[in-house]
A = this chain, B = another copy of it.
Amino acid sequence: MTKLVTAGVILIGDELLSGRTQDTNLGMIARWLDPLGVTVGEARIVSDDADTIRETVKSFSQRFDYVFTTGGIGPTHDDITADCIAAAFGLGIDEREDALAILRPIYEGRDFNAARRRMARIPDGASLIANPVSGAPGFQTKNVFTLAGVPRIMKAMLADVEHRIEGGAKLFSRTVESQGIGEGDAAAPLAAIEAGHAGVSIGSYPYFKDGVHGANFVARSRDLAVLEKAEAALRVMVKQLGGVELK
């Protein structure tokens, strides 16, 4: 069996915790990692607090094969991610010439002030991650990728991360959508199907929409052949329970 490769995601910013901004970066990273054979094991949403960011980076870097951080790499006083990453690994940090060289042309004719130069503060030994949208680079420090918080920029940066990821066995999934089935009726057969198909995990997601109730079942496995057997068993179960299969 191929190696299981995991990632941890750290979403940084008070605005995510206050409910002012709805995060979408986690889902974007997870769906992007999926075909690379990397599974997100945990995500944390932390405030702009140096101690918390540093300690979370430190522990995630040890627990997961890859770590992604989003947010806190802009020019303002609340952008402290780069310094926290450096502190997490005991590295020095300063304005770096390779990053300054990217930023200077962007601010030509405008004030390339201390705040903007702050975006060139990169931990010692980190490699830059290209930002084709607004210029200011992200960076990779050991197994930690530090990306922008703005979703459009974050997404664009992933293009320069892909070649650095050594994926594992792809996790396949099959979804059986059904209508008119109570989760409580499906529970026992679901557990039996999961137990009968080694390496398959099955999630059950009930819904109630437009006056209609039902449940969707998602089977996941790294073994496609076994997964397809489990999927077939789920479809038989839906029929036996008198439900309608939607897809």
Where the two chains meet, the residues of A that have a C-beta atom closer than 8 Å to any C-beta of B are 13-24, 26-31, 34, 39-48, 52, 74-78, 107, 110-111, 113-116, 118-119, 133-134, 150, 152, 173, 182-188, 190-191, 194, 201-208, 218, 220
Separation of A15 and B34 alpha carbons in the complex (Å): 13
Separation of A188 and B117 alpha carbons in the complex (Å): 12
Instruction: Please state if B74 and A204 are interface contacts (CB–CB under 8 Å).
Output: yes
Taking the closest CB of chain B, its distance from the CB of A8, in whole angstroms, is 10
Taking the closest CB of chain B, its distance from the CB of A112, in whole angstroms, is 8
Given contacts A24-B22, A194-B77, contact A150 B207 (CB under 8 A): yes
- Contact for A185 among B17, B113, B220, CB less than 8 A: B113
Instruction: Please state if B115 and A188 are interface contacts (CB–CB under 8 Å).
Output: yes
Closest B residue to A31 by beta carbon equals: B19
Closest B residue to A136 by beta carbon equals: B184
Interface pairs A-B: 9 shortest CB-CB:
A115-B187, A19-B30, A116-B184, A19-B27, A19-B31, A77-B191, A43-B45, A76-B204, A75-B184
Add 16 more A-B contacts to A26-B45, A77-B191 (CB < 8 A).
Answer: A15-B203, A18-B31, A19-B29, A19-B31, A19-B34, A19-B40, A20-B173, A76-B186, A76-B191, A77-B190, A78-B204, A107-B184, A110-B182, A113-B185, A115-B187, A152-B208
